Amino acid sequence: MKILVAIKQVPERDAQINIADSGRWIDESDVNYTINEPDAYALEEALQLKEKNGGEVVVICAGPERVTSTLREALAKGADRAIHIESDDIGERDTLGVAEMLAEVAKAEAPDLILTGLQSDDLGLGQTGVVLAELLGIPHATIIMQVEVTDSGLKVKRELEDGWFQHVEMPLPALLTIQSGGNKLRYATLMGIKKAKTKETRTVQAGAAASPAITLERVYLPKKQKKTEMLTGTPAEVAAKLVEKLKFEVRVI
Amino acid sequence: MSGVLVLMEQRGGVWNRMSFEALAAGQQLAAKLGMECSAAVIGEGIDALCAELAGKKLAKVFAVQHALLKDYTSDGYVAAAELLIRQTDPAYVVLPHTYQVRDFAPALATRFKQVLISDVIAIHDGPVFVRQLLQGKLNADYKQADAGPCFVSVQAGTFRAEAVEAGAASVENFTPQLEAGQIRNKPGELFREAAHTVDLGAASVIVSVGRGIGEQENIGIVEELASALGAELAASRPICDNGWLPMERQVGSSGQTVSPKLYLAVGISGAIQHLVGMKGSKTVIAINKDENAPIFEVADYGVVGDLFEVVPALTKAVLAAKG
């Protein structure tokens, strides 16, 4: 089974956020990047499916030169090869524009299964996978916790709200968006890091961006919904202040 | 192209209550733009639901019915909604941001070469649609760039279902041309894992732990605080994903929804998926090292500091106060 895993590189979760002068994105100069966490779960699922059923895992990532570090990490974890869609203007493309870039490569690769995270930690639109499936004309299922290969295709466990789940059966080729927590993430081993150096990373130039359907006009810090009283001091002082509140305001002591 | 169309969500003849929040959003958007608002229900055996909508201030209620729409499938819903939208030609399509909408609406928008503006938390004049970025650390204004129906899904709790305006609307049947071969996925019955043995919903005090705890062995200090306060221990999703605490202790959109007297969040940044599960709490106290963590936006009392120092000090102080 040939599995394509679409991954995204995003700012680290505890990155300090400064708004860029353009007012339309964050200042990228002080940001460290990492793999989008739901995509790490998609990669893990792909690697486990390969271990069970054999085949090949190909990772694909669109973005500027810096995203190759995330691709290398995926290779170190066990992906067989990587494809970098080089695009310096990825921020100017909307979901459809990004999915079109991915679709072009996916068509040529013709995988049996495409996996990606259910959403990105930065934009959080949660759509690239579904749009990619639609562009390729293949069935999809979202927010998937478990994947089982069957005689007729796949049986997946889909997460619903409030602790409900549902099994869905579907033919291949197909696309799944993976939820976190279905598997335990692996770390790259030293051997894996060594081996990654011998694996192929192919670079593909992105085509020109089409005009987007939606645009991000500006970003800004959210307004507080509540007036928060900040308590300061040494840990012991803060603890004493909190106990006061718990006793006299919240009345739980 | 004119008007606002709200796609309501139901399962087996029972509303997803978020549909009415989307309906309120649709009515308000239509009023702002001087347009008419209509609503559609997709499924089978939905007459009673449509009759209920006929009592709302709507231009029309579309009953989109077909035997193949009895159980939700993305293929069935995308095909049916596409046909309805092509025929009714709305300028805006508003949906609740549910798991189901996340499954089909992006594909539906793609059929019109559009992109769903998802998980919207406010609609301003323009219209400008506000979304959250970077796990709630930033807000962003989005606009539709070109012509074509604009697809928008609204976040839970953003609009009030009670704000839906009453009125009178006619119900119109819409029977989409569907064939069984179009539907590729076979959905199974809904199920729950082992019964919930922990009912966090009934707890009056909850101490909840997040990613900031770093490692499983550190959870002990939060457990000690919970037991000092006589509180239930809960967690955000990453803690349960790692298997550090069982899934049944998870608070958030994929876990339990709680509204205790006190919710004490330790090392929880406050991604929206977590906030929707706990923002009904009467008092929220947050301890986090990052002063920009979104959890402070919903906190009554906040402590910016090292939880490994603050939490043990607090446990000690609580035990001392209790004597």
Residues shown for chain A: 253
8 Å CB contact of B317 and A242: yes
Tell me the average pLDDT across A156-172.
Answer: 93
Q: At what angle do helices B99-111 and B74-88 cross, to 10 degrees?
A: 50
More confident residue, B29 or B136: B29
What residues of chain A lie within 8 A of the CB of B141, using their CB? 216-219
Q: Torsion angle of alpha carbons B77, B83, B84, B90, nearest 10°? A: 110
Task: Please give the pLDDT value at position B270.
Answer: 93
3-class DSSP state for residue A184? coil
Contact between chains at B254 and A161 (C-beta distance less than 8 A): yes
Question: Which chain B residues have a beta carbon less than 8 Å from that of A170?
Answer: 184-186
CB-based contact A165 B144, cutoff 8 Å: no
Pick the residue of A12, A16, A22, A125 with the most B CBs within 10 A to test the interface with B by mutation: A125
Query: Which pLDDT value is given to residue B272?
Result: 85
Q: What is the pLDDT of residues B225-248, one digit of tens each?
A: 999 999 999 999 999 988 899 888
Nearest-Cα residue of chain B relative to residue A161: B254
Q: Which among B283, B133, B10 is positioned nearest to A222, based on CA atoms?
A: B133
**Do B192 and A164 contact (CB within 8 A), yes or no?**
yes
Nearest to B137 by CA among A62, A30, A224: A224
Q: What is the helix (H) or strand (E) element at residue B220, kind and residue range?
A: helix B219-229
Per-residue pLDDT reduced to its tens digit, B114-126:
999 999 999 999 9
pLDDT tens per residue across span A228-238: 999 999 999 99
The predicted structure's pLDDT at residue B257: 87
By CB atoms closer than 10 A (0-12, 13-18, 19+), residue B192 is exposed
Confidence of residue B193 (pLDDT cuts 50, 70, 90): confident
Which chain B residues are within 8 Å of A140, Cβ to Cβ? 74, 103, 107
Name which of B110, B142, B296 is nearest A217 (Cβ-Cβ): B142
Query: Residue A224: is its pLDDT beyond 80?
Result: no
Q: By CA distance, what is B191's nearest residue in A? A: A165
A253 interaction partners in chain B (CB closer than 8 Å)? 229, 318, 321-322
- With contacts defined as CB-CB under 8 Å, which chain A residues touch B134? 11, 17, 26, 121-122, 124
CA–CA dist A214, B16 (Å, integer): 28
Q: Give the model's pLDDT for residue B195.
A: 61
CB-CB under 8 Å, B192 with A165 = yes
Is A181–B237 a contact, with Cβ atoms under 8 angstroms apart? yes
What's the rounded Cα separation, in Å, for the pair A196 and A177?
25
The mean of the pLDDT values for chain A is: 95
- Could you tell me which residue, A46 or A184, shows the higher pLDDT? A46
| DSSP-assigned letter for residue A123 | S
DSSP B289-317: S-TT-GGGGS-SEEEES-HHHHHHHHHHH
Q: Encode pLDDT of B69-84 as tens digits.
A: 999 999 999 999 999 9
CB distance B30 to B37 below 8 Å: yes
- The tokens for B194 are 């082992």
Residue to substitute from B116, B225, B283, interface A, most A β-carbons within 10 A:
B116
| DSSP reduced 3-state for B58 | coil
pLDDT, residue A223, reads: 82
Do A131 and B114 make contact, defined as CB atoms within 8 angstroms?
A: no
pLDDT average, residue stretch B105-113: 98
Per-residue confidence band for B18, with pLDDT thresholds at 50, 70 and 90: very high
Residue A23: C-alpha distances to residues A17, A159, B123, B125 (Å): 12, 36, 20, 20
Does position A84 have pLDDT exceeding 90, yes or no?
A: yes
Residues 128-167 of B with CB under 8 A from A: 128, 131-146, 148
The model's pLDDT over B33-92, given as tens digits with 9 standing for 90+, comes to 999 999 999 999 999 999 999 999 999 999 999 999 999 999 999 999 999 999 999 999
Sheet holding A214-220, edge to edge: A214-220, B138-144, B128-133, B122-124
Can you give the pLDDT at residue B279?
87
For residue B116, give the nearest of A127, A226, A228 by CB distance.
A127
If you average pLDDT over residues A41-60, what whole number do you get? 98
Q: How confident is the model at residue B196 (pLDDT cuts 50, 70, 90)?
A: low
The residue of B11, B133, B261 whose CB has the most chain A CBs within 10 angstroms, and thus the best one to mutate to test that interface, is B133
A215 contacts in chain B (CB < 8 Å): 142-143, 145
Nearest CA to A175 among A113, A236, A228?
Answer: A113
How confident is the model over B158-167, as pLDDT tens digits?
A: 899 999 999 9
